[in-house]
Amino acid sequence: DGGITQSPKYLFRKEGQNVTLSCEQNLNHDAMYWYRQDPGQGLRLIYYSQIVNDFQKGDIAEGYSVSREKKESFPLTVTSAQKNPTAFYLCASSTRTGNTEAFFGQGTRLTVV
Amino acid sequence: AQSVTQLDSQVPVFEEAPVELRCNYSSSVSVYLFWYVQYPNQGLQLLLKYLSGSTLVKGINGFEAEFNKSQTSFHLRKPSVHISDTAEYFCALRAKGGYQKVTFGTGTKLQVIP
């Protein structure tokens, strides 16, 4: 079955460590997205990529980095520069044109202690 | 630029009562509109979408939404809610033409009271 896989589902890290969240899709979608979700703040866009080897900053990119070396993969690194990294992170993908919805992974809950 | 406004952050409703979750949008170009549902600690699932044609769109789980271009609204409705409808609901849009990212509202938490 086609879909988006995020791993791991739960992740714990010590403060000051970088951590990478995985996102893989087999939907043959060109576009991929990373969102951060905090209680009461909806979905905030971190980074998005419309095509391999290209990506753009979203609304809250500071302290995060991404790469898009393969169409299927869009990993997100939460760096030590991110002041408050504890959150629920969602990855999504879609076609590049607008008449289709975005498909979401099941999310990764990151807790920094 | 586009934006989506969900005016109600929380909506409590008794079981078997009707519910309407409001969504208004702003865009200088035509848009596609979507409603998603999110259960706790899960990703978002598509409920329904408006692409073109009939302004009344039916989705899964008995939900429907009506596109109103003059009021720039896309409200979600269900005539009789169940406990299992307790979740957070997100309205979203994508602009037509070119390569456009998805823009989401801040979400509405629906709490169904037994």
What pLDDT shows up at residue A56?
95
What pLDDT shows up at residue B64?
97
For residue A93, what are its two tokens? Answer: 């993908």
Residue B100 clears pLDDT 80, i.e. is over it: no
* Cis upstream peptide for B18 (omega within 30°): no
CB distance B45–A104 less than 8 Å? yes
Beta pairing, strands A10-13 & A108-112: parallel
B51-87 residue pLDDT tens: 988 899 999 999 999 999 999 999 999 999 999 999 9
Residue A1 clears pLDDT 70, i.e. is over it: no
Please provide the DSSP assignment of B30-54 as one string.
-EEEEEEEE-TTS-EEEEEEE-SS-
CB atoms within 10 A of CB A44: 16
Residue A113 clears pLDDT 90, i.e. is over it: no
Is residue A50 within 8 angstroms of chain B, CB to CB?
yes
Instruction: Please name which of A64, A95, A70 lies closest in space to residue A82, comparing C-alpha atoms.
Output: A64
Q: What are phi and psi of A93, to 5 degrees?
A: -140, 160
- The answer to whether A52 and A66 are in contact (CB under 8 A) is no
Query: B109: number of CA atoms within 13 Å, CB side?
Result: 9
Query: Nearest CA to CA, how far is A93 from chain B (Å)?
Result: 10
Query: Nearest CA to CA, how far is B82 from chain A (Å)?
Result: 23
A55-92 residue pLDDT tens: 999 999 999 999 999 999 999 999 988 889 999 999 99
- The answer to whether A111 and A12 are in contact (CB under 8 A) is yes
What pLDDT shows up at residue A96?
80
B5-50 residue pLDDT tens: 999 999 999 999 999 999 999 998 889 999 999 998 899 999 999 9
Question: Using CA atoms, how far apart are residues A10 and B35, in angstroms rounded to an integer?
Answer: 27
Mean of the per-residue pLDDT values for chain B? 93
Please provide the DSSP assignment of B87-99 as one string.
EEEEEEEEESSSS
Which of A55, A101, A104 is the best residue to mutate to test the B interface, defined by the most B CB atoms within 10 Å of its own CB?
A: A101
What pLDDT shows up at residue A30?
92
What pLDDT shows up at residue B81?
97
Calculate the dihedral angle through the C-alpha atoms of B44, B26, A48, A92, rounding to the nearest 10 degrees: 10
What pLDDT shows up at residue A98?
65
Q: What are phi and psi of A56, to 5 degrees?
A: -130, 150
Confidence of residue B97 (pLDDT cuts 50, 70, 90): confident
Per-residue HEC secondary structure of A5-42 comes to EEECCEEEECCCCCEEEEEEECCCCCEEEEEEECCCCC
What pLDDT shows up at residue A95?
87
Query: Nearest CA to CA, how far is A22 from chain B (Å)?
Result: 15
